[in-house]
Amino acid sequence: MPGTRQRVLSMIMDWVKDDPMRIFWLAGLAGTGKTSIATSLCHMLLAEPDVVLGGAFFCSRTANVAELTDARYIIPSLAVAYATKSQQFEAALASALNVDSLAASKPVSVQILTLLQQPLATLTTSSRPIVFVIDALDECSDENEVKKLLQAISTLRCDANVKFIVTSRPETHINTSPISRSDHNGILRLHNIDPMEVTDDIRLYIGDAFSKQLLEETWYTESDVNLLATRSDGLFIFASTVVTYVLDTESADDRMARLRTVLFTMKDSKVATGPLDAVYEFVLRRASNTTKVEPRELEATRQVLACILAAKMPLSILALAEILGWKPETLRASLRRLRSVVLVPEMADQPILRTVHASFGDYLFERAAVDIRIPATLGDGLLARGCLRIMSKRLHFNISKSRSSHQPNSATKPDTFTLSLEYACLQWAYHLASLGEPGVSDEEINVIFSRQFLFWLEVMSILGEVRRAAAMLIFAAASVSFLEFF
C-alpha cells in the first residue's frame, strides 16, 4: 500500500479507536481514490479485533442498479448488515419491525430511529466501536434525500459507540450539511494533501501494476512510469484508467504502442479516455440541470470554467473576479456545483484555482457533447478583455512608488500591486494571439498604449520581465491591425 494512502488509512483507524466524534468525512475531488480507500478501510476493519464493521454501503451510478443511487436504501442496508453480526441487535431490529413493518420505506428520519437508534439502545455496553461505512454519497441521485440522511446521522443518539465514515466529493449539498462541521466531525480533504506525496503514491501504484506483468520482452521503462505519475497530477482515476488501458492487451508491442498513446496522444483515443469522460460528463450534467440552475447561472459557470482552463497560470478567486469585473462571491457561487472537478480554494486570495486535471479541458473543448462543450476561445476572449480593462484602469505614473530614479524598479513592489494586475500585464498579449481574430481589440489596445505604454513597461521592470515585453508586442502584433503607439 503506497505511503500516503497508508497514512490516510492509519489516520482513520486511529480516529475510529480514540476519537469520541461520531462522523468522519473523507472528502475528495473526482478521481482522487476515495472508493479505493473505503474498500481498503473495510478490509482493515474486518481484520481488526477491537473494532466491528457494522456494515458498508457503496453508492454507484455506474453499476446500473437503482438502489445504489438512492439514499433511502442506505440505512436499511446497514441495519440488515449489522443484524447478521449481532444476535442482540438482530432481535431488537426484529422487534422494531414487528411494531412498524414499513419502517424501511419511510423517511430517513424514521428509518434511523426505528432501524438503528432503537435497536442499538438495547445493546450491552461494549467498548468496541461499531463502524458503518458509506462510500461515494455524492453519487446518489436525489440531493434532498442525501441532506436528510446526513442530518439524520448527525442527530443519532445512543450510548453505543457507533461511528460513521462517509466518503464523497465536496458537492455543495454535502459541503453545506452538518457533516462539514469540523467541531463536531472528523474531516480529511484528500485534495489538501501534498501533491508530491500523492504523485509518489501513484508512481508506486503504476510501477507495481506494470511489474507484475510477466512478459519476456521489456515494454516500459522507469522513465515511462515517472512520466505517467507526473501526468496523473494527483488523480488516481487517471492512473487506474491508464493502467487498465495499457494492460488490456497481451503482447509487449501492443502494450508499448498503447503506452505511447497515453504519453503523447491520449486525448485522441476514446478507448483510453472513456472512463474519465464518463466522470466528467456526470459532474457536468448534474451541474447543468436546468430544473435547479437558472440559465444566467449556467452561463456564469461556463464563462468561469473557460477562464480557468485558458489561464496561463493559476489565479485566485479575487484575481479572476477582478479580471472579469465580477464580485468574488459571485464567482465562487458560479463554481459551487463543480467542486468535484475544480479545485476551489477556501481563501479567496490563494492562487490555486484550477481544474482537477488537464484532461478535463481536453474533454470540455473537444470530446464533450455539443450541449455542454465550451469553445476554446471563450476563455481567451474573456481574459483578453479583462486584462486590457485592468491595465486601462490600474496603470499609472510611478506605479512602483519609487522615491528615486537611482533605485531599480525591481527593488520595490507596493502592496497595491495585485495578482490581477500582474497577470494582466504579463498575459494580455498571449490571450489576444490565441483568439486568432486580428483587429478585435485594436481600439482598446491603442487607447491604453498611446497613454500608458511606459507605465506598462515599468510594471514589467518591477516583475523582472522587461526582456519578455518585446516578445509580447510581437505576439500582440498578430492580433492588432495597427499599433499607433509606435
Residue pLDDT, tens place only, 89-124: 999 999 999 999 999 999 999 999 999 999 999 987
Cα 273 to Cα 2: distance, rounded to the nearest angstrom: 25
Q: Is 193 helix (H, G, I), strand (E, B) or coil?
A: coil
pLDDT at 214 over 60: yes
**Partners of 163 in beta bridges:** 131
Confidence of residue 439 (pLDDT cuts 50, 70, 90): low
**Whole-prediction pTM:** 0.70
Whole-number percent of the chain with pLDDT over 90: 45
Question: Which residues, 6+ apart, have CB-to-CB distance to 89 below 8 Å?
Answer: 82, 83, 119, 120, 122, 123
Half-sphere exposure of 456 (CA within 13 A, CB side): 29
Question: Which residues, 6+ apart, have CB-to-CB distance to 174 below 8 Å?
Answer: 27, 137, 138, 146, 150, 168, 180
**Partners of 58 in beta bridges:** 135
Order of all β-strands in the sheet with 52-58: 52-58, 130-135, 162-168, 23-27, 186-189
Confidence of residue 273 (pLDDT cuts 50, 70, 90): confident
Q: Which is nearest to 112 in space by CA: 78, 70, 163?
A: 78
Q: Give residue 5's pLDDT.
A: 81
- Amino acid 454 reads L
Cell numbers for 20: 469520541
Half-sphere exposure of 388 (CA within 13 A, CB side): 20
Q: Give residue 411's pLDDT.
A: 54
Cα 146 to Cα 306: distance, rounded to the nearest angstrom: 30
Strand bridging mode 23-27 / 186-189? parallel
Q: Give residue 130's pLDDT.
A: 96
From residue 334, alpha-carbon distances to 293, 304, 330, 338, 342 in Å are: 10, 7, 6, 8, 11
Domains and CATH numbers, the chain: 3-192 (3.40.50.300), 195-268 (no CATH), 293-374 (1.10.10), 383-477 (no CATH)
Q: Give residue 485's pLDDT.
A: 47
pLDDT at 414 over 90: no
Consecutive H or E run containing 203:
helix 195-211
Residue 263 burial (10 A CB sphere; 0-12, 13-18, 19+): middle
Q: Is 273 helix (H, G, I), strand (E, B) or coil?
A: helix
For residue range 239-264, list pLDDT tens digits in order: 888 888 888 888 888 999 989 888 88
- Amino acid 100 reads D
**Partners of 188 in beta bridges:** 26
Cα 315 to Cα 124: distance, rounded to the nearest angstrom: 56
Out of 175-189, 394-408, 471-485, least confident range: 471-485
